[in-house]
């Protein structure tokens, strides 16, 4: 299939691009580089041995999207393009609703014009809000507690209404939990601008000496060791989930929702401890106060994706840490060469 990846030079998009190309699909990237850069495209080509086209553009540019869909005879779209920082979404909600919701509407209008009606959407477990039960299954009530999560839920609802209005659409909504890790080559990985919000990239920058220490946001939660527990999923397992969803949509009309996680809650101390074992040294850290809006525990019931997509997360926390270290080592060398 010819597949357009919006946000394709971002963290998850770049890893999915590699996997899809390796699986024999023709991939086209579409990105405005607001949270990535063009060099990622070259490294995707280096890994895959393919010359994957990368169109620079904003998903709010409907005309450019129509042109791109026609030019590359796109069969399906995976929609990764979006802003994802919870804190920033609280400070700048209009920026998030414009980019994530208006951007998605623009993409869907372009797809309608070009008669491309297969889409996989990057949603988030954030749509669930505070868990009423665990593990979270797809039937859990939806109550996002920040503007970012609300943008994701609104796009989910738009897609569901679109399918009701035109049953010829094929839609998969993938609710990611906590993606971490990197491609085994170490050439691509999570590359946040500025100081990372998320745990894993922050730990990697402490390990590399770029940041002095890790602040552990609370150790008084009702969890196995008092620190927050999350469902960390290796980004390559996540990429496989997208391939499985695309294959499913070949035979199924309508809209389906899938949780993509491991189903295994891992605490901050467990993740940091694994990382320390892999690198053979301690990560300087101190207990800090809880971060506003943080959940104590969040992890997935993945049985629907397991049974319906025949998809399973296969990589463990050790794999996530070792692959992340390879990427961080390469990333540090890149920064060294830039100085
Ligand atoms: P990322 O920021 O690395 O990638 C997003 C990409 O989209 C970037 O390359 C960015 O330049 C591009 N982009 C953003 N707005 C755009 C626009 N208007 N037009 C064109 N390109 C645009 O983020 P990621 O971690 O790869 O996440 C990909 C998707 O998955 C996002 O929609 C995010 O909300 C969602 N998601 C991420 C996580 C996570 O923890 N990483 C969890 C759940 C869901
Ligand atoms: C994980 C754990 C923190 C940083 C976020 C978004 C969510 C999704 C995934 C987009 C928590 C603790 C963290 C640090 C710490 N993104 N922590 N010190 O908050 O589960 O989810 O990323 O969809 O929308 O909310 O991930 O990595 O920020 O935190 O102690 O410096 O690590 O308290 O328990 P989170 P995270």
Q: How many domains does the chain have?
A: 1
Q: Is residue 273 part of a domain?
A: no
82 lines ligand 1 (CB under 6 A): yes
Q: How far apart are CA 3 and CA 243, in angstroms?
A: 11
Please check whether residue 191 is in contact with residue 259, taking contact to mean a CB–CB distance below 8 angstroms: no
pLDDT-flagged residues of the chain (< 70): 337-339
Q: How far apart are CA 132 and CA 140, in angstroms?
A: 8
Residue 30 alpha carbon to ligand 1 centre in Å: 12
Structural domain harbouring 134: 2-181+232-262+299-315
Q: Is residue 335 part of a domain?
A: no
Residue 6 phi, psi (nearest 5): -75, 140
User: Which atom of ligand 2 lies nearest, measured to the CA of 178?
Assistant: 9
Q: Is residue 320 part of a domain?
A: no
Q: Is residue 210 part of a domain?
A: no
Helix, strand, coil shares, percent, the chain, to 5: 45, 20, 40
pLDDT at residue 336, rounded to an integer: 72
| Ligand with minimal distance to 190 CA | 1
By annotation, the residues acting in catalysis are 148
99 lines ligand 1 (CB under 6 A): yes
124 lines ligand 2 (CB under 6 A): yes
Q: How far apart are CA 29 and CA 309, in angstroms?
A: 25
User: Which atom of ligand 1 lies nearest, measured to the CA of 148?
Assistant: 34
Q: What is the domain-level CATH number for residue 171? A: 3.40.50.720
Q: Is residue 246 part of a domain?
A: yes
Question: Which residue, judged by its Cα, is nearest atom 21 of ligand 1?
Answer: 31
Residue 83 alpha carbon to ligand 1 centre in Å: 6
Q: Is residue 187 part of a domain?
A: no
Q: Is residue 304 part of a domain?
A: yes
With 0-12 CB in 10 A as exposed, 13-18 as middle and 19+ as buried, what is 247? middle
Mutation test residue for ligand 1: of 12, 41, 181, 238, the one with most atoms within 8 Å of CB: 12
Checking DSSP bridges between strand 232-234 and strand 118-124, what pairing results, if any?
unpaired
Q: Helices H, strands E: what count in the chain?
A: 12, 14
33 lines ligand 1 (CB under 6 A): yes
pLDDT per residue over 247-303, tens digit each? Answer: 999 999 999 999 999 999 999 999 999 999 999 999 999 999 999 999 999 999 999
| Ligand with minimal distance to 290 CA | 2
| Ligand with minimal distance to 198 CA | 2
Residue 197 alpha carbon to ligand 2 centre in Å: 7
Q: Is residue 245 part of a domain?
A: yes
Q: How far apart are CA 320 and CA 316, in angstroms?
A: 6
Q: How far apart are CA 205 and CA 194, in angstroms?
A: 11
**Three-state secondary-structure class, residue 138:** coil
């Amino acid at each position: 299939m010819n597949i357009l990846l919006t946000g394709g030079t971002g963290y998850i998009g770049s890893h999915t691009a590699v996997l899809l190309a390796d699986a024999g699909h023709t991939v086209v990237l579409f990105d405005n580089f607001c949270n990535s850069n063009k060099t990622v495209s070259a490294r995707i080509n280096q890994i895959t041995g393919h010359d994957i086209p990368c169109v620079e553009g904003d998903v709010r540019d409907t005309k450019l999207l129509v042109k791109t869909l026609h030019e590359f005879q796109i069969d399906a779209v995976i929609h990764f393009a979006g802003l994802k920082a919870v804190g920033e979404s609280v400070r700048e909600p209009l920026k998030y609703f414009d980019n994530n919701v208006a951007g998605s509407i623009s993409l869907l209008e372009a797809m309608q014009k070009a008669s491309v009606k297969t889409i996989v959407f990057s949603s988030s477990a954030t749509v669930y809000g505070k868990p009423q039960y665990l593990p979270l299954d797809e039937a859990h009530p939806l109550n996002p507690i920040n503007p970012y999560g609300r943008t994701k839920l609104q796009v989910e609802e738009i897609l569901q209404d679109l399918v009701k209005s035109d049953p010829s659409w094929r839609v998969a909504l993938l609710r990611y939990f906590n993606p971490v890790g990197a491609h085994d080559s170490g050439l691509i990985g999570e590359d946040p601008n500025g100081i990372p919000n998320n745990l894993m990239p922050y730990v990697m920058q402490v390990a590399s000496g770029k940041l002095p220490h890790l602040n552990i946001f609370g150790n008084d939660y009702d969890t196995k060791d008092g620190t927050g527990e999350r469902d960390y999923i290796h980004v390559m397992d996540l990429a496989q989930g997208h391939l499985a969803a695309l294959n499913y949509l070949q035979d199924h009309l309508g809209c389906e929702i899938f949780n993509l996680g491991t189903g295994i809650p891992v605490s901050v101390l467990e993740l940091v401890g694994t990382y320390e074992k892999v690198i053979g040294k301690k990560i300087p850290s101190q207990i800090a106060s809880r971060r506003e809006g943080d959940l104590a525990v969040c992890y997935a019931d993945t049985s629907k994706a397991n049974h319906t997509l025949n998809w399973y997360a296969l990589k463990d926390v050790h794999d996530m840490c070792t692959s992340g270290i390879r990427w961080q080592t390469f990333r540090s060398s890149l920064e060294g060469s830039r100085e």
